[in-house]
Amino acid sequence: MATDANPTPAGPAYSSRIHRSARGERSSSSQITEQPRLSSLRKIRGPFLHKSSHGWQRDHRINRDGGVIKTVIREAKADAIAPSDSLPFVDVHYEGTLVENGKVFDTTYEDNSVFSFEIGEGNVIKAWDIAVKTMKVGEVAKIICKPEYAYGAAGSHPEIPPDATLIFEVELMVCRPRKGSSVESASEEKARLEELKKQRETAAGAKEQEKKRREEAKATAATRVQAKLEAKKGKGKKAK
């Protein structure tokens, strides 16, 4: 997804292009939840509802000319964070298909990786800069990209032909601040305090467990002493 020297817009493509990216790059990921492939497109003249395996979905034009259309497949939690000026770096899973034949031309699911890039820097195709910034962490969306918001008349040989409309299924995994930013420092401090809190809670829990163990041991010892005294009393009564 690196930006080439020529004016042809760059964006998600096959692995060789992604691994050459200077600012956007793939990295290894934890277990991935497979999402259904989306390989069909209707002519869209504004928002409308359609039925999918996830229920009724609304397609939404993100820009006026309909060049980028987004459908939310899985909504994020209400309190999920979203990309912003202070959180411009994102990690995503994605799968790209050609509208004309449904062929998958690139996917992060195949090699269990994520793709990282900075929003708004022109390191990916226009459709991604436009659509991903409207997502929240945990959201999965289908993004339909007309040629002028993808690879245009040039395409991206050999996988993407000229004037190709593309469909991407994108899952936003993480939003991150720039390194050295005040937000990053604040995030690190918050994480440090949360970790310290966890350590204190763990220590307090361990202390409480030790106290409980000692009390139980003390009660057990007292029960044994009482049992011995009762036994001695019983023997004394028999002797009389």
Q: Is 94 a catalytic residue?
A: yes
Q: Is 151 a catalytic residue?
A: yes
Smallest Cα–Cα separation from 61: which of 125, 169, 143?
143
Buried b (16+ CB within 10 A) or exposed e, 19-50: eebeebbbeebeeeeebeebbebeeeeeeeee
> With contact defined as beta carbons under 8 Å apart, do 73 and 168 qualify?
no
**Tokens read off for 190:** 């918050």
d(CA 26, CA 193): 31
The residues, any chain, with a CB within 8 Å of residue 60's CB and separated by 6 or more, are 47, 69, 70, 71
* Active-site annotation holder among 105, 109, 117, 149: 105
Q: Is 14 a catalytic residue?
A: no
* Active-site annotation holder among 106, 115, 117, 160: 106
Task: List the Cα angle 17/21/24 in 5-degree steps.
Answer: 120
Q: Is 115 a catalytic residue?
A: no
Query: In angstroms, what is the C-alpha Rg of the chain?
Result: 29
The half-sphere exposure of 162 on its side-chain side, counting CA atoms within 13 A, is 2
**Tokens read off for 207:** 């202390």
d(CA 31, CA 196): 28
Catalytic residue positions?
Answer: 94, 105-106, 125, 151, 168
